[in-house]
Chains A and B, each alone.
Chain A
Amino acid sequence: MKTFKAVISGVGGQGTLLASRLLAEASINAGLHVKIGETYGMAQRGGPVMGHIQIGGAAHNPQIRKGEADVLVGFEPAEAVRRGVTYLKDGGLALVNTRVTAPVEVVSGMLPYPDTGELMGLLGKVTDRIVAFDATSLAEEAGDPIATNVVMLGALTESKELPFSEETMLSTLRDSIRPQFLELNMRAFDLGRNAYRAHQVWR
């Protein structure tokens, strides 16, 4: 089979690593080989985080070459652009959480946060398939902003880009998430799916 390649990007503390892990487990549950490379450093402290995910195929190294990712899952607009411009293939799908996580340079007034329109405009030069929505608000609506990662997974699943079924993703979530948080996460997943279905393609 053709290798499915996705890049996840975000900021430390957003749950991107857990999202990668859930995709890895779902792939294994679907009987597919998977390779994931994470770049995070000391990212719990607000630094950029990136995961490279390759499902199926026979690559030896988990890193994706520039311009070869089928999908970009951006947990934050600036981080989506940082990685999308480099790794997303021409015309690939970009899922973008529009909620801004301001870096300390912005918080302490050294720099302004870039204009979201300009950011998406840049990503728009790589692809016209940008699905952008406030995933953090949806996670709050589900009960906790920490579930932003599961909102994004819901949207990714609904995009039908993944090389395994929706049922595989759902059963993986059910097996991996602690029972007391399952209901909240299932709500988050559904809200993500709905957000994709509403398909607010950035113009």
Chain B
Amino acid sequence: MGNEAIARGAVEGGIALASGYPGTPSSEIGNTFARVAKQLGIHFEWSANEKVALEVAFGASMVGQRAICSMKHVGVNVALDILNAITLRGVKGGLVLVSTDDPSQHSSRTEQDNRWLGRHNDVPILEPSSPQEAKDLTRYALELSEQVKLPVMIRTVTRLSHMRSDVELGEIQRLDRSPAFDWEGFSYRIAGFDKLFRRHRERHGKIDSVQEMFEDSGFNELKLDGEERIGVIGVGFAITYVRDALEYLGVEDRVAWLKLVTTHPMPERLVARLIESVDTVLIAEEVDPFIELHVKALAKDVNPDVKILGRMNGFIPREGELSHEVIDARIAELTGVELAPEARGDLEEAKGDLLFDRMLTMCAGCPHRSTIYALKKAVQAVKGDLMNVVVNGDIGCYGLAHAPPMEFEDTYFCMGASIGVSQGMQRFGVDAIAWIGDGTFFHAGIPALQNAVHNKAPIKVVVADNQAVAMTGFQTNPQLGRTATGDQVDPIMIEDIARASGVKHVEVVDPYDLDAAEEAFKRMLGFDGVAMVIARRECAMVAVRNMRPERPPVYYVDQEACVGCKQCLNTYGCPALMWSEDERRASIDTTLCMGCTSCAQVCPVDAIHRGGDA
């Protein structure tokens, strides 16, 4: 997998430390380190958030160690403050930042293109086009970083991070450097303040030297025999669509192409060789016109008449990831090749009429569903109407509370925002509930909570505590009592943090006890001041996994007792519940049910029971 290849490249590059924060599509990088770190004698950690992760990696660099830090694209927003400081101050041990971008936002709230953030800070950027290249580039990036004393960004897209292929491995390198703080490089005491501060010009010198190196980089590839009138620049993974299209359309001889992997600083002389030689240049990249803009500027000097096509003029759609359909069609248009018409339009239409979209939902037995169910009942009872509060959600599985049949979440924005935005609403008398998970609370919820207490914003906070960072695949957080590599440590409990932060009303409740949870939420809503309820119950997927090889206890709907009111389906809506239109009765799918008992509590006629040994 592309992500695994990055981890392998880092190990081949001799890292002593890896850090990160989970988030799709980056998580498998850290998951891989978590598996192998101990065996290889390197330190790996899931850090509290992306900023901390990058700071930890920078600290290792300052004492001479090579380090890598991985995160999803929006994570770099969080880490940007320290990234800027690192680029001005420089690095000692090679330092690589992996940003996994998500064109078409398969699992993100944005498809932001982090190459701008790299450029914004004079960070060299490398964009692999295959898992093999991802591995090789990561190793190279560590060396480059150390050589030019800048952090280097490996920028991937989801399709590469989640792509599997065979990869040729290299040697694992163990540098075993003795740790030594670089006093001359980083210490105000030794090097002096004046030498270390105001280094913008130095940073420019470094990035210019990288541009020179990229002019001859073997990772780029130019196919040009001088006769072609059309050239295509495929940036990083986008080159794969381009080369497949040229072959598919049979126009390989007529079209020049450049695979551009070293995207910032762009090697201008290399790119100039292509644009000087052709009449038309197509630029395929994801997702913004990052190279295209630069090519336009360069063309003014080297070939002002060349026609430049890409995202900026909408020749390629301005949003979204690339596809065979898009690139095949664009290159066909440029080369005058006739593409076969869409053959299955009618079938696709019939399919659209027949099929549902399959919305995301919480898993069978998910404790968050029980929490939301109880919270809704409490709000109805205390506030009289569900619309009398705004529910500000946060990032994680529990963010699916907006989906039917729960439909009890109004907003979610970014990690930890639920607690902050709630305060601005509460300030003006709009009652707000912050709905945040345990992992997210540790990431960015704590300063916001302290802000609420300090500035007297009497918001209500519900922590959906499933004892897991479930959405990204069960990484660790500080409450779990174990590290990413399995060491036992003292857990840091959310209730202790809340109380220490001055929250006067804190309760912990088991959401599988729906009545007890509802009562706890009522007390929270009635409290005058900041109040928190922690709904704590292990993630259902973890619970089922831990039962193996045993299967969960079986629950069933007594078909005699069921009155067909559908309350379990319409108000609770666990995916393990089924409805038979013929029988007008509910039933339970025993392959999905994990025995949480919630639906049995929801049923108004007591028709749901635990099975015997049958």
Residues of chain A whose beta carbon lies under 8 Å from any beta carbon of chain B: 11, 13, 20-21, 24, 27-28, 33-48, 59-63, 65-67, 78-79, 81-82, 85-86, 101-114, 118-119, 122, 125-126, 136, 140, 143-145, 180-181, 184
List which B224-245 residues lie within 8 A (CB) of chain A. Answer: 239-241, 243-244
B164 with A11: CB separation less than 8 A? no
Residues of B within 8 A of A184 (CB): 549
A107 with B573: CB separation less than 8 A? yes
**Separation of A34 and B325 alpha carbons in the complex (Å):** 22
Residues of A within 8 A of B566 (CB): 109
A60 with B243: CB separation less than 8 A? yes
B360 with A42: CB separation less than 8 A? yes
**Separation of A30 and B136 alpha carbons in the complex (Å):** 24
**Separation of A180 and B325 alpha carbons in the complex (Å):** 45
Measured CB to CB, the closest approach of chain B to A13, in angstroms, equals: 7
B165 with A107: CB separation less than 8 A? no
B244 with A61: CB separation less than 8 A? yes
Closest chain B residue to A118, Cβ basis: B354
B569 with A103: CB separation less than 8 A? no
Measured CB to CB, the closest approach of chain B to A87, in angstroms, equals: 10
B165 with A35: CB separation less than 8 A? yes
**Separation of A118 and B552 alpha carbons in the complex (Å):** 34
**Separation of A44 and B397 alpha carbons in the complex (Å):** 9
Among A41, A48, A82, A143: residue with most chain B CB under 10 A: A41
B549 with A66: CB separation less than 8 A? no
A62 with B347: CB separation less than 8 A? no
**Separation of A133 and B335 alpha carbons in the complex (Å):** 47
B359 with A66: CB separation less than 8 A? no
Please pick, from A38, A45, A82, A126, the residue contacting B361 in the complex, using a CB distance under 8 A.
Answer: A45
Closest chain A residue to B571, Cβ basis: A108
**Separation of A83 and B405 alpha carbons in the complex (Å):** 27
A40 with B162: CB separation less than 8 A? yes
B354 with A140: CB separation less than 8 A? no
Residues of B within 8 A of A59 (CB): 244
B322-341 Cβ-contact flags toward A at 8 Å (1 or 0):
01110010000000000000
Closest chain B residue to A31, Cβ basis: B166
B591 with A66: CB separation less than 8 A? no
A60 with B239: CB separation less than 8 A? yes
Measured CB to CB, the closest approach of chain B to A60, in angstroms, equals: 4
List which B520-569 residues lie within 8 A (CB) of chain A. Answer: 541, 548-549, 551, 566, 569
**Separation of A33 and B166 alpha carbons in the complex (Å):** 6
**Separation of A145 and B593 alpha carbons in the complex (Å):** 12
**Separation of A108 and B548 alpha carbons in the complex (Å):** 29
Residues of chain B whose beta carbon lies under 8 Å from any beta carbon of chain A: 24, 106-107, 129-130, 159, 162-166, 239-241, 243-244, 248, 323-325, 328, 343-344, 347-348, 350-351, 354-363, 397, 400, 403-405, 470-471, 473, 541, 548-549, 551, 566, 569-570, 573-575, 577-579, 581, 591
Residues of A within 8 A of B362 (CB): 45
Closest chain B residue to A146, Cβ basis: B548
Residues of B within 8 A of A144 (CB): 548-549, 551
Residues of A within 8 A of B354 (CB): 81, 114, 118-119, 122
B573 with A60: CB separation less than 8 A? no
Closest chain B residue to A103, Cβ basis: B358
B163 with A102: CB separation less than 8 A? no
Please pick, from B358, B541, B578, the residue contacting A47 in the complex, using a CB distance under 8 A.
Answer: B358
B347 with A35: CB separation less than 8 A? no
Please pick, from A62, A78, A104, A180, the residue contacting B403 in the complex, using a CB distance under 8 A.
Answer: A104
B573 with A104: CB separation less than 8 A? yes
Q: What are 23 A-to-B residue pairs whose CB atoms are below 8 Å? A: A24-B166, A36-B163, A37-B162, A38-B162, A41-B107, A42-B471, A60-B129, A60-B244, A62-B159, A66-B344, A78-B355, A78-B356, A86-B344, A104-B359, A104-B404, A105-B356, A105-B358, A107-B569, A107-B574, A107-B575, A108-B404, A110-B404, A118-B354
Contact status of A114 and B355, CB under 8 A, knowing A63-B323, A63-B324, A108-B573: yes
Residues of A within 8 A of B575 (CB): 46, 101-102, 104, 107
**Separation of A20 and B162 alpha carbons in the complex (Å):** 12
B360 with A86: CB separation less than 8 A? no
Residues of B within 8 A of A63 (CB): 159, 323-324
B324 with A61: CB separation less than 8 A? yes
Residues of A within 8 A of B356 (CB): 78, 103, 105-106, 111, 113-114
B404 with A42: CB separation less than 8 A? no
Please pick, from B324, B348, B404, B578, the residue contacting A86 in the complex, using a CB distance under 8 A.
Answer: B348
Measured CB to CB, the closest approach of chain A to B316, in angstroms, equals: 16
Closest chain A residue to B323, Cβ basis: A63
Measured CB to CB, the closest approach of chain A to B318, in angstroms, equals: 21
A35 with B164: CB separation less than 8 A? yes
Contact status of A85 and B24, CB under 8 A, knowing A37-B159, A60-B239, A61-B240: no
Measured CB to CB, the closest approach of chain A to B90, in angstroms, equals: 37
Contact status of A85 and B360, CB under 8 A, knowing A36-B165, A44-B471, A62-B165: no
A33 with B165: CB separation less than 8 A? yes
**Separation of A181 and B355 alpha carbons in the complex (Å):** 35
* A37-B163, A41-B24, A104-B575 known, 12 other contacts, Cβ within 8 Å: A41-B107, A46-B361, A59-B244, A61-B240, A85-B344, A107-B575, A109-B569, A109-B579, A114-B356, A118-B354, A126-B344, A144-B551
Contact status of A107 and B581, CB under 8 A, knowing A35-B163, A59-B244: no
A66 with B325: CB separation less than 8 A? yes
Residues of B within 8 A of A145 (CB): 591
Closest chain B residue to A23, Cβ basis: B164
B164 with A21: CB separation less than 8 A? yes
A107 with B107: CB separation less than 8 A? no
Contact status of A42 and B244, CB under 8 A, knowing A78-B356, A107-B573: no
Residues of A within 8 A of B577 (CB): 107
Closest chain A residue to B342, Cβ basis: A66
Please pick, from B471, B574, B581, the residue contacting A112 in the complex, using a CB distance under 8 A.
Answer: B581
